A and B are shown apart, each in its own frame.
Chain A
Amino acid sequence: MISLIGTAASKMQFRNMRLLVIILTAASLSACQSTGTASDALLAPQSAVQSRQIESRAFEVQNDKILVQTIVATLQDFGFKITESNISTGMVSGSKSQASGGFYGYNTDIRVTVTSTTVKDGRSSVRTTFQKILPSYDPRLFRTVPINDDTLYQKFYNGLEKALFLSRNT
């Protein structure tokens, strides 16, 4: 009987040991997986081809200057402040502040960068990326989060299409 209890106890101990080993291994593994290493910054959330497809659109336009000026006008239509622009690279950036929603009540900045290829045969490919700036208690630790929402890009490009139409016909 005593020996039976003894083996049962040793079995329990063995099981406990095994459990302890598993917990320790898991803990050490999760310790290895620290949050936010420098190389994490270069991980893309989706494939480059996929994101370019959502973010890009081709437009018919006379020349680079009209295209860049129309992108500026479209960003103004949506209430963005132009923070950067360059005609030789076909790039325009803008920002806009808005209430973040939710319980916290802080404001976030939305940043947008529009790039366009040089107009060739009356056509150009335009790519837009939207980012949300998440503030932090420490101003050095703010984060940017890409906004991947098909409807957002659709709405923006509809606006740009309309603006190009207006610039052609006024």
Chain B
Amino acid sequence: MKLIKLLIFVSLASGILTACQTDSRQQILSTDQSQVSLRSIQTRMFDTSDQSLTVRTIIATLQDLGFTIDKVDNDIGVVSATKAGSSLLKLTVSSRKRGPDQISVRASAQHNISSVSDPKLYQQFFEALSKAMFLEAHQVN
């Protein structure tokens, strides 16, 4: 009887210990959405063929929103930025040509230590970007 009690105790204890020790390797490439659905949340199309202008508009929009620009690559159309307010928001915005007169812009964000898949944040970002694209396209300063 004592032996059974001891066995139960040991197995429970080891169960608790292994539960605490989550495998951090599993987290590295873990996502809560599929590749395709995540992309549809994070991507918008813009009617322009000027990628350089798009990158500059993305930078301007991020500045409007109070971000610090960390890196820009004009050749492949990537901008990364960070905003450290009450929490840390890291953002990467990439743009690429789709056909002759369209450019797709994709934003992906990490809030503190978790990736953001909530559509609301992206809606807000693209709203600001669309306005800025309109301003740039019509040269309103």
Contact = CB atoms under 8 A, between A and B. Distances in A.
A131 B26 CA distance: 14
A68 B25 contact: no
A17 interface: no
A72 B23 contact: no
B28 A81 contact: no
B27 A69 contact: no
Contacts of B90: 81
Interface residues of A, number: 41
Interface residues of B, number: 35
Nearest to B42: A76
A120 to B, nearest CB: 19
Given A69-B96, A76-B94, A147-B25, A82 B78 contact: yes
A134 B43 CA distance: 33
B76 to A, nearest CB: 5
Q: Is the interface of B mostly helix, strand, loop or mixed?
A: mixed
Counting chain A CB atoms within 10 Å of each CB, the highest count among B21, B29, B106 belongs to B29
A132 B23 CA distance: 13
Given A65-B76, A83-B70, A97-B110, A77 B28 contact: no
A129 B85 CA distance: 31
B92 interface: yes
B94 A82 contact: yes
Interface string A52-90: 000000000000010011001100111111111111000
Given A83-B70, A102-B21, A130-B28, A76 B92 contact: yes
A79 B24 contact: no
B91 interface: yes
Contacts of B20: 102-103
A86 B74 CA distance: 10
